[in-house]
Structure 1
Amino acid sequence: MNDSLLVSPLIGPNATVKTKVKCTLKAYNGQYVCAEGGGGREVVANRNEAAGWEIFTLYYAKDNKVALQANNGQYICAEGGGGREVVANRNIVSDWETFTLVDMGNNSVALQAWNGQYVCAEGGGGREIVANRNAIAGWETFRMNIIETISSVDSSLILVDIKSSTLL
């Protein structure tokens, strides 16, 4: 893993649109976020090492919108658009599978669900991931480590607002 790659050039006003990277996310307690079974199940933050299930493909679009893909190819979803659990069992990206990436500095990020609530590692880690917090604090902050930049421009995934048919 390459700790020298920074998050900040990939998000914010100088971001490269539709960048795709492989990354890990660490919870407040230092444990890795994991899509159980490599996808198809719940998302937790209880792993001490990063291997396949703890590595995500992150698709960037404009306005800091992202989609996260689990090892099995399914996408991370904030059930109900937020306010509930986070799972990795969706085959397409729509509102509930799209997050706003908030740069917290020092390679730390927060993820905001469609309903405006933030993704949280319950207990700061060691438990499930939910999307039901109204503000960002320690448990809602994740350290992102970019393992590999797959492409600087990727047209294989374009995030679209289904209701208005506009690009995100």
Structure 2
Amino acid sequence: MSIQPKMLHILLFCLFIGLQSYAQESQSVQLKTTSGQFIKINDDGSLTSTTEQGTSATQLEIVFIYADKNMVALKTSLNKYLTAEGEGRARAHFQLSANAEAVGEWQTFELIDLGNKQFAFKTHYGTYVQVDNAGKVSAKGFDTQQNARFELVGF
């Protein structure tokens, strides 16, 4: 049995709407790196790290999509969702931005409790959100090393 293109679009749309409707609760937080920096959302949707704390640019809302699976979306104070996107499977191209208006696969992260008040965010690519030594935020991490660990301030 094959699915007609029109039916496939309808099924994908229903899946997308269903994913958004599962949001159960949310929590306002700031993501603090192990080096004491905070993830900052810039006006253009890019992400960097900063020492500033408590500004709207560093506030994120963790929206729990599937509480039993620890799947979350990260919503900014500008009502945009963090998006992990890449070209192919080349890790160098996995970027993170705050540009989506709705939650889909690219805006969904697995929240992993690493203990000691540290968490990691795993993308649908299987990579991790990280902050490099220059303060650039990306989705290029392949493990939960130090630059991919965050404290959820306010959680």
- Retained in 2: the 8 A contact 1:42–1:128? no
Does residue 102 of the first structure (1) align with residue 112 of the second (2)?
Answer: yes
2:73 maps to what in 1?
Answer: 67
1:19-168 equivalent positions in 2, closer than 5 A: 19-37=25-43, 40-62=44-66, 63-80=69-86, 83=91, 84-123=94-133, 127-146=135-154
Q: Deviations over 1:8-44 (max 9, x none)?
A: xxxxxxxxx822110011012101111112xx41111
- 1:101 is displaced (CA, Å) by 0.4
TM-score (norm 2): 0.76
Question: How many angstroms apart in 1 are the aligned matches of 2:54 and 2:35?
Answer: 14
TM-score (norm 1): 0.70
Question: How many angstroms apart in 2 are the aligned matches of 1:72 and 1:61?
Answer: 19
Give the letter for the 2:101 counterpart. N
Question: How many angstroms apart in 1 are the aligned matches of 2:127 and 2:141?
Answer: 5
- Retained in 2: the 8 A contact 1:34–1:47? no
4+ aligned runs moved over 4 Å, structure 1: none
Question: How many angstroms apart in 2 are the aligned matches of 1:146 and 1:18?
Answer: 18
| Structure 1, 95-104 or 45-54: larger mean CA deviation | 45-54
- 1:49 is displaced (CA, Å) by 2.0
- 1:71 is displaced (CA, Å) by 0.9
Task: Please tell me whether Structure 1 or Structure 2 has the larger radius of gyration of its CA atoms.
Answer: 2
Q: CA RMSD in A?
A: 1.8
Question: How many angstroms apart in 2 are the aligned matches of 1:87 and 1:56?
Answer: 13
Bigger relative contact order, structure 1 or 2 (CA pairs below 8 A, ≥6 apart): 1
Question: How many angstroms apart in 2 are the aligned matches of 1:32 and 1:133?
Answer: 17
Question: How many angstroms apart in 1 are the aligned matches of 2:104 and 2:35?
Answer: 30
Q: How many residues are paired up?
A: 127
In structure 2, the gaps of 5 or more residues are 1-22
